[in-house]
Amino acid sequence: MGLLDSLREALGMRAEADATRRADPDDLFGMSTAYVTMEADLGYRSTGDAALCFSGVDSTEFTAAVRAIEDILAAGETETGTAFDVRTDGKGYEWVVLHDDDPEDLVTSVHFAADELTERGFGSRLLAAAFAFERADEDGTAYWLYSFRRGAYYPFVPDPGGRKERVERLEFKLESVLDGELEVEPEKEYWYPLWPDRGRHPWE
């Protein structure tokens, strides 16, 4: 089952019912040190891309919350250099997509957006955060995904050939190196793939 094939079931109702711990946007700051380990121990560097996925709701309060996120990110873009856009994918899920060569800025911006939704009462709409990495000697992209329904990270490495297959040996390697530094989801049935509709990244 792909995440975007059945996202509400995968990271929504079923995972929420089975959750072992409550998600906290502050968990995202674990990625601040994980970036360093990914490069030093595994040779993976940030692609300069990260994103936050959430399900929208038809209300003026929710619209105001998203607008506040956009306004603050836009105000800070000159200072941090973090470019962003807000988009809706083919399944109707919303994304705040961020671009910055500084991984710390990416983590801070993803956390801000998640925290803003939580503070305004829309924490239950948060689905996943995605952080993208690449290696100079390998094709393709590796991701660390944070499931807000499970309160944990897990690795996702799609086949670089474009097939909807996963490179499990690399996922297990990422887990072995980062487990303990990140709160890694122990039950691999919840390592849901996050396939893109088109393009390179899951939000494309």
DSSP the chain: --TTTSHHIIIIIHHHHH-SS---GGGGGGHHHHHHHHHHHH--EEEEEEEEEE---SSHHHHHHHHHHHHHHHHHHHHH--EEEEEE-TTS-EEEEEE-S-HHHHHHHHHHHHHHHHHTT-GGGEEEEEEEEE-TTS-S-EEEEEETTTTEEEEE-B-TTSSS-B-HHHHHHHHHHHBTTB-B-S-GGG------SSSSSTT-
pLDDT value for 164 = 86
CA distance 148 to 128: 6
CA distances from 188 to 20, 154, 193, 202 (A): 14, 8, 11, 20
Pairing assessment for the beta strands 83-88 and 94-99 based on DSSP bridges: antiparallel
CA distance 42 to 173: 9
Instruction: Note the pTM of the prediction, 2 decimals.
Output: 0.89
- Rounded mean pLDDT for each run of 10 residues along the chain, 204 residues in total: 45 47 82 96 96 94 95 89 91 93 96 94 95 89 96 94 89 96 95 87 90
Structural domains for the chain: 7-190 (3.30.70)
